[in-house]
Amino acid sequence: MGIVQAKDLTFEYIIRDEEDNIENVKTAVDHVSLDIEQGQFIAILGHNGSGKSTFAKHINALLSPTEGTIWVDGMDTKDEAKLWDIRQTAGMVFQNPDNQIIGTIVEEDVGFGPENLGVPTEEIWERVDASLEAVGMTEYRHHSPNKLSGGQKQRVAIAGILAMKPKCIVLDEPTAMLDPNGRKEVIATITKLNKEEHVTVILITHYMDEVIGADKVFVMDEGKVVLSGTPREVFSKVEHLKALRLDVPHTTELAFELEKAGIPMKRGILTIEEFTQELIKVAKHNHIDRRSTSC
């Protein structure tokens, strides 16, 4: 069993009228089954209302399934006796860091979680040091969070989760409120944590360029997983993604448009470097063909 495993997970929102009668039932997650291995970088994509954030809240046991089961490190999230352990195992970073940062000084905020866990004082400071170092925020440890940029605040929020030593971090649209520089800071931080610290990362996002480095991508629509695979496999399905009202990385789309225009570009190009190499290959091939024809 992986670090996170869902089987036929379904969640329904019950909408009631003013007299508390059931007015409507909305299925937000619809029989989702997936398996995430320890140490993977997983991305879950989808437009607004696709069910991706609702699914994410099940990993941290903030929501409980209407039907089906989700296990976190082998623990059933419906088991109330395991909720504390589940939330230690799977830390969660939300969209707005201001809702997650409570300390008046950066290092105090990062140490708040371990202190609540009853960690000895000496170890708390060791964890604070290591967590701030991991997210590149050591030099700001004595600053007020209010003086930090959005990207820096989100890195502090990530450090606060790291200090509790989770096996898995779930990030629910962590860059949605950030400018491009802040987005780059946060994605670079979580990528480093995954590669160097071997923390399982589950990134919920609608920014396609943020998931190029993921091990696996799940695409959700109307509460269901409708596509899954490596970034290259998923982004090679440009027309399918557009039908789901999702974009693809700019480089991928440019290569796709060139292919439609008759230029033999391969599918699933993800980076500028790949795109450049493919163009050079096409140009060389065309040059050889012209020489062969002229002979």
Q: What angle do CA 222, 227, 230 make, to 5 degrees?
A: 145
Domain 4-230 has CATH 3.40.50.300: yes
Which helix H or strand E contains 202, and what residues bound it?
Answer: strand 200-205
Percent pLDDT > 70 in the chain is 96
Give the residue extent of every domain in the chain.
Answer: 4-230, 249-295
Q: Tell me the CA distances in angstroms from 184 to 162, 210, 211, one per residue in order.
A: 19, 8, 12
The 10s digit of each residue's pLDDT in 135-170 is: 889 999 999 999 999 989 999 999 999 999 999 999
Residue 9 in this model has a pLDDT that exceeds 90: yes
The 10s digit of each residue's pLDDT in 97-111 is: 888 898 899 999 999
- The candidate with the shortest Cα–Cα distance to 210, out of 245, 244, 250, 242, is 250
Confidence band for 20, pLDDT divided at 50, 70 and 90? confident
120-134, 225-239, 266-280: least confidently modelled range:
266-280
Identify any residues that bridge with 12 across adjacent strands, giving them in sequence order: 27
The C-alpha atoms of residue 253 and residue 77 are separated, in whole angstroms, by 40
Confidence band for 295, pLDDT divided at 50, 70 and 90? very low
pTM above 0.85, yes or no: yes
The 10s digit of each residue's pLDDT in 26-36 is: 999 999 999 99
The 10s digit of each residue's pLDDT in 182-201 is: 888 889 989 988 998 899 99
